[in-house]
């Protein structure tokens, strides 16, 4: 971003100071660091940019958004919700309380999928429970699929995802279609090369142990997977076995406490082979991958 020096009006340095004072007055820890995070996120620039461009002018709409972000942070909102955007791989996505905030672990899930299909273009990818559209859009931007579908049971989430499809249109190498419905219900007539998902996987009994920034702000429909956290995953495994083309890839993000149970669910479905658990960047069991059998077992 090019910094414009101004003789009058609010500068980035002044905005940082204003936000830091406001955050401090509201009891936020490390207020200046927080103010820098807010400004960097609003401008979609690296964290050091506000400090290096303190004399740049700040337009009215950005000032308004920054002050609104301050108030939301003071209420306990996660930074992404406060500023209304989040980074995901090479994309910047609109996010709010209607969708989960994309996590680095989910970026790694996309990386695993891309590695698995590298060198063989074409086919359909389906992102189940697309939320903000993060996975679907990353696959469409970085992969070589002929089409990508994103499904979600939440109309609110799909509204956010549609905003992101429009915003990311110039970066996409494949069309992205967003469909309303539960799991793979909306794409029953599609034979997919890849089915990928970050399904709800937190047990209802674990809600109280979640950080308040998650429990009180992120959508329950995208967090909780029933009494044991595995109900959506179990359904998805069965549906994916039907919807995948022979040799197709199934890849899901799972709770680190239940990765082995999720892998067992997949192994019980005889139409899958080559089932494995992958670790996240912190060495925890986070992903389950499998391939659809070329032929159904007799």
Alpha-carbon distance of 165 to 173, in angstroms, equals: 12
223/280 same-domain check = yes
Q: What's the whole-number mean pLDDT along residues 151-171?
A: 98
For 190-200, the pLDDT digits (tens) are 999 999 999 99
Average predicted confidence (pLDDT) for the chain: 94
Shared domain check, 258 and 161:
yes
Identify the CATH number of the domain in which residue 255 sits. Answer: 3.40.50.150
Boundaries of domain holding 148: 98-292
Contact partners, residue 286, CB within 8 Å, separation at least 6:
105, 108, 253, 254, 256, 259, 278, 279, 280
On whether both 78 and 102 belong to a single domain, the answer is no
Residues in the chain: 298
On whether the CB atoms of residues 90 and 171 are closer than 8 A, the answer is yes
Question: What is the arithmetic mean of pLDDT over 1-14?
Answer: 65
- Specify whether 119 is located in the same domain as 52: no
What's the pLDDT band for 29 if we cut at 50, 70, 90? confident
Same domain, 27 and 74: yes
Does some domain include residue 298? no
Q: Indicate if 168 and 191 belong to the same structural domain.
A: yes
Give the residue with greater pLDDT, 3 vs 230.
Answer: 230
Share of the chain above pLDDT 70, in %: 96
Helix and strand numbers (H, E) in the chain are 12, 9
Task: Give mean pLDDT, residues 166-174.
Answer: 97
pLDDT the model gives residue 27: 87
So what's the pLDDT on residue 5? 44
Confidence class for position 297, pLDDT limits 50, 70, 90: low
Residues 239, 184 contacting (CB under 8 angstroms): yes
Q: Region 158-180: what's the mean pLDDT? A: 98
Q: How confident is the model at residue 1 (pLDDT cuts 50, 70, 90)?
A: very low
Taking the whole predicted model, whether its pTM rises above 0.95 is answered as no
Indicate whether 113 and 260 sit together in one domain: yes
Q: What is the pLDDT of residue 9?
A: 80
């Amino acid at each position: 971003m090019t910094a414009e020096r101004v003789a009058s009006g609010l500068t980035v340095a002044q905005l940082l100071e204003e936000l830091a004072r406001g955050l401090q007055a509201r009891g936020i820890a490390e207020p200046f660091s927080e103010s820098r995070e807010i400004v960097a996120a609003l401008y979609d620039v690296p964290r050091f940019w506000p400090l290096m461009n303190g004399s740049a002018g700040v337009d009215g709409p950005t000032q308004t958004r920054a002050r609104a972000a301050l108030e939301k942070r003071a209420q306990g909102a996660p930074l992404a919700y406060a500023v209304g955007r989040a980074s995901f791989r090479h994309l910047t996505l609109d996010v709010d309380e209607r969708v989960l905030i994309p996590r680095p672990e989910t970026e790694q899930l996309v990386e695993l999928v891309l590695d698995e299909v590298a060198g063989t273009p074409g086919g359909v990818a389906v992102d189940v429970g697309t939320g903000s559209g993060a996975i679907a859009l990353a696959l469409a931007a970085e992969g070589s699929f002929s089409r990508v579908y994103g499904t979600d049971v939440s109309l609110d989430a799909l509204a956010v995802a549609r905003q992101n499809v429009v915003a990311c249109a110039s970066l996409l190498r494949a069309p992205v279609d967003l469909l309303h419905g539960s799991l793979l219900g909306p794409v029953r007539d599609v034979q997919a090369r890849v089915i990928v998902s970050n399904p709800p996987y937190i047990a209802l009994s674990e809600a109280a142990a979640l950080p308040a920034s998650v429990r009180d702000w992120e959508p329950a429909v995208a967090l909780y997977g029933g009494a044991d956290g595995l109900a959506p995953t179990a359904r998805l495994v069965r549906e994916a076995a039907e919807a995948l083309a022979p040799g197709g890839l199934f890849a899901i993000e799972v709770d680190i406490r239940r990765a082995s149970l999720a892998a067992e669910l997949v192994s019980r479905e005889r139409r899958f082979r080559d089932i494995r658990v992958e670790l996240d960047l912190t060495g925890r069991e986070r992903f389950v991958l499998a391939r659809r059998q070329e032929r159904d077992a007799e």
